[in-house]
Structure 1
Amino acid sequence: MSLSPDRLERFARHIVLPEVGGTGQVALAQGHIVLIGCGGIGSPALQYLAAAGIGQLTLIDSDTIDLSNLQRQTIFTPADVGHAKAKVAAAWVHRFDPALQVRAIVDRVTRENVAALLAGADVVLDGCDNFATRLIVSDASVAAGIPLTSVAIGRFQGQIANFAGHLPDQPCYRCFVGDAFDAEDCDTCAADGVLGAMAGMAGTFGAMQAMRVLLQGHAALGDPQFGTIHLLDGLTPSLRPLAIAKDPGCKGCGAT
């Protein structure tokens, strides 16, 4: 694949970076990322995934836009209230860069449909708001051999990590959180609050980590840092890496 003159100009600031270069930009253009959740994390992540020229984007979200979302979900406007997040997000991508392929799926991820939803992905970026869905996505990613970028926030804390639990020596997301959260019983932004800029910090960090996966073998930036959780403290502020060990008894990846 070669980049047309207008694409070379659009991504010139990427291409001039030795850590990305033309080969890396082509890898991004050939990549397919499935984004779970188009809200507080997914919205800023999507902006930078699209800006990076990720060639194919699948957007999955069953929710509609609420006025309270606009404090942190930066691709939406008051005119979008009441509309499906995935469809509005896909329309934003079409306006921002018509050359990208984007598909909107207005549906909730379940154990029954997750394999079909993730099919064909090079990376899954999970920015959903509940542990049950996160674990469903993690298990399905392991089963399909797809790397997972996980991004989560709570108040002023963020957790960003790449997982490759399908690899024999790598942990999955379930190795990190265990089995206690299979039920839908997590805290919410509505109950605990969230600073909009905190969601932006975590979401854009997640976009960069997902790009690291796509750039493996193509660019110096392509160190995916699998199994390392980056703990983001927005109050201090600080960033601390934490290595996660593979759990031999993990029901998500323990047999791999």
Structure 2
Amino acid sequence: MFIKEELNRYNRQMILPELGLKGQEKLKAAKVLVIGAGGLGCPVLQYLAAAGVGTIGIIDDDVVELSNLHRQILYNHTDIGLSKAKTAATKLKLLNPHVDFTAYHERFKADNAVNICRNYELVIDCSDNFNTRYLVNDTCVALGKTLIFGSILQFEGQIAVFNHHGGPNYRDLYPAPPTENINCAEGGVIGILPGIIGLYMANEAIKLICDIGETLAGKLMTINALNNTALIFKIAQEKQSEIVKAEATVREIGEIDKTTLDQWLSESPDEIFLIDVREDYEHEENNIGGVNISLYELTSSLKSIPQGKKVVCYCQTGQRSKMAVQLLEGVYEGEVYSLKKWI
């Protein structure tokens, strides 16, 4: 039941026919865990609290630093040195006193992951490192929890919904962490990017809770804020013996290994057109030849790809190259392959 103040507070979204009073009741009953109260966590927390999600858990062992403030706008300079989780809970309670917050000023680790996650129905991963992402994913898979994922770097961000009704999970997209991990502290990030990606994550949470609209379950959305491009890819599910593969979300991708590529290049090099679909700074640092066309520029660069060749796309992990194959299928007249992890 809602008191009059709540009805007034949520009026503008309750008049949406897709949401209504029933949807608002679902939001109030929802229990959501947000892992990380930094760049992504701040907008996710602010908008879920404002929307009226009834119970929100916040876990982060970090404290506010001066270098956070250009993008983590929930905080200000008076919060420097204070716990992000506790400070966020205090500020969000002022934003919406009708939401219950639990702040965990601790690191999300193997020894606390299950006990914390089991108290929530939806988990949102706003962490910034691969170790935590794999732990969050594996915990959600073990507990059968839906996971909303987001990541940011420089001008690019990703959003996905994993493990929804047994669908693809994070390991289906990234079976293993890359050998080189550039984070925001090293590669930088434009301040508004976490806001853009975080809002998409919050929007996915509201849709999932209210069971409305089309979600990113089994899909990966990539956004480049520098050139205003957005792409959505279907994620193939690898663990077919453990989880039933959803036919609507999977398409077979032609893959070859490095040995096969080397054989093709030695036997008929003129028939092969090799494309590094990573960013230019990645290509300059380490590559195996070919041309460098970023995944985000691939569809606009079709004229530079000669017809009738065997096109082989590669990246570092074999994931972006799979996406590149999906983009080229149907628009390129020739064979297209993705190179498996070669480093």
TM over 0.5: yes
Partners in 1 of 2:230 and 2:18 — Cα distance?
A: 22
**Cα distance in structure 2, aligned partners of 1:240 and 1:211:** 21
Pairing 1:47-66 to 2, within 5 Å after superposition: 47-66=46-65
Equivalent residue, structure 1, for 2:168: 171
Match of 1:98 in 2: 97
- TM-score, reference length from structure 2: 0.68
Tell me whether 1:236 sits opposite 2:227 in the alignment.
yes
Query: Aligned partners of 2:133, 2:177: CA distance in 1, in Å?
Result: 12
2:67 corresponds to 1:68:
yes
Write the distance in 2 (CA, Å) between the matches of 1:122 and 1:186.
Answer: 30
Aligned residue pairs, count = 243
Query: Partner of 1:151: helix, strand, or coil?
Result: strand
Query: Which whole-Å CA distance do the structure 2 matches of 1:229 and 1:242 have between them?
Result: 5
CA drift at 1:3? 2.0
Aligned residue type for 1:198: L
Aligned to 2:40: 41
Residues 59 and 85 of structure 2 are in contact (CA less than 8 Å); yes or no, is this contact kept in structure 1?
yes
- Alpha-carbon separation, structure 2, partners of 1:77 and 1:133: 26
1:248 is matched with which residue: 239, 242, 267? 239
Quick one: distance in 2 between partners of 1:255 and 1:179? 18
Structure scoring higher RCO (CA < 8 A, sep ≥ 6) equals 1
What is the CA deviation profile of residues 96-141 of structure 1, one whole-angstrom value per residue up to 9, with x for unaligned ones? 1111100100111112211011112111010100011001000100
Q: Partner letter of residue 177 of structure 1?
A: Y
Q: Distance in 1 between matches of 2:190 and 2:57?
A: 27
| Distance (whole Å) between structure 2 residues aligned to residue 129 and residue 120 of structure 1 | 23
Partner Cα distance (2:177, 2:242) in 1: 20
What is the SS of the residue equivalent to 2:139? Answer: helix
Task: Return the alpha-carbon distance in structure 2 between the equivalents of residues 115 and 45 of structure 1.
Answer: 22
| 2:69 aligned counterpart, secondary structure | helix
Counterpart of 1:226?
217
Q: Does 1:211 align with 2:211?
A: no
Please tell me whether Structure 1 or Structure 2 has the larger radius of gyration of its CA atoms.
Answer: 2
- Does the 8 Å contact 1:159/1:229 carry over to 2? yes
Question: How many angstroms does 1:166 deviate by?
Answer: 5.7
Q: Is the 8 A contact 2:130 2:177 kept in 1?
A: no
Aligned runs of 1:89-238 on 2, under 5 Å?
Answer: 89-164=88-163, 167=166, 170-180=167-177, 186-216=181-211, 220-221=212-213, 223-238=214-229
Q: How far did 1:165 drift? A: 5.7
TM-score if structure 1 supplies the norm length?
A: 0.91
Quote the Cα distance in structure 1 between the aligned partners of 2:50 and 2:164: 28
Judge conservation of contact 1:230–1:239 (CA < 8 Å) in 2.
Answer: yes
Q: Is the 8 A contact 1:35 1:125 kept in 2?
A: yes
Q: Which residue number corresponds to residue 26 of structure 2?
A: 27
* Kept after mapping to 2: 8 A contact 1:142/1:166: no
Structure 1: 5+ residue stretches without partners? none
